Amino acid sequence: MVDYARMFRLDGKVALTIGGASGLGQASACALAACGARVVVADIDREGALATARLIAESGGTAWADAVDITQEAEVARLFGAVRDRHSTLDVVVVTPGINVRKPVVAYTAEDLDRVLAVNLKGTFFCLREAARRMLDQGSGSIIAFSSIRAQVVEPGQSVYSATKAGVAQIVKALAAELGPRGVRVNAVAPGVVETALTRPITSHPEWYQAYAARTALGRWATPEDIAGAVVYLASDAARYVTGSVLVVDGGWTAIDGRFSPPL
């Protein structure tokens, strides 16, 4: 008899969460730890990463923290080396960092472009590549990147952000094809609107905030905790036949038209 409940457990697994100081990364780290994983919390914000590790420890979990700037190739390599020094395996890698510069295309500067590409696409690529190298050596593992519904649907001011999130989704698919024969799974989570620091310019604007909430089938924004379950699923053996997928967690945003509810 298959123990289906245990398929969702992560006991004994080592999980590296990059971007774990706050928001989606922090919720992911805490959820992975709650399901039994030993978690490495990494972030450019060292104090925030340490705070998340303490939060996990206070809840009875196991975690340690490190700092990393994912735009720097050498720093990403150093982080994975530090994880290797402390753990004989690396079973799960979650990559969450992302930034956005909301501007029309005609107003975008070269500096704006470089900044968003450096974090969202180049930095994510560095992390995925190092995770792939480590997991190829051991012949197992689950890699989870963060895309967005903006990879599918856009709005004014979201050009470069949307392009980077579409790029992440395609890198994930290519990497899944490359690593699948060696037993490594690669997937992406594509959230809708989530209340985080990244979306604070919207959540602090009541009319804008409510318009986005009304656009979803559920009539509300997500919290980071609403997204964390998808991360645990993709990390676990419950998703052992899932790879190359983009799991949309958007409250129905991309499934419905949302502009008008006809009288039925």
State the CB neighbour count (10 A cutoff) for residue 48: 20
Distances in Å between the Cα of 138 and the Cα atoms of 75, 90, 133, 168 are 22, 8, 9, 24
Sheet containing 92-95: which strands, arranged edge to edge? 62-67, 38-43, 14-18, 92-95, 141-146, 184-191, 246-249
Asked if residues 146 and 161 have their Cβ atoms less than 8 Å apart, the reply is: no
Burial of 110: CB neighbours in 10 Å, binned 0-12, 13-18, 19+: exposed
Beta bridge partners of 259: none
The count of C-alpha atoms lying within 13 angstroms of the C-alpha of 224, restricted to the half-sphere facing its C-beta, is 19
146: nearest Cα among 69, 70, 249, 65: 249
CA pseudo-torsion sign 25, 26, 28, 32: positive
The count of C-alpha atoms lying within 13 angstroms of the C-alpha of 49, restricted to the half-sphere facing its C-beta, is 21
Of 4, 161, 209, 241, catalytic: 161
Residue type, 35: C
Q: Which residue has the tokens 């991309």?
A: 254
Among this protein's residues, is 108 annotated catalytic?
Answer: no
**Looking at the annotation, which residues are catalytic?**
161
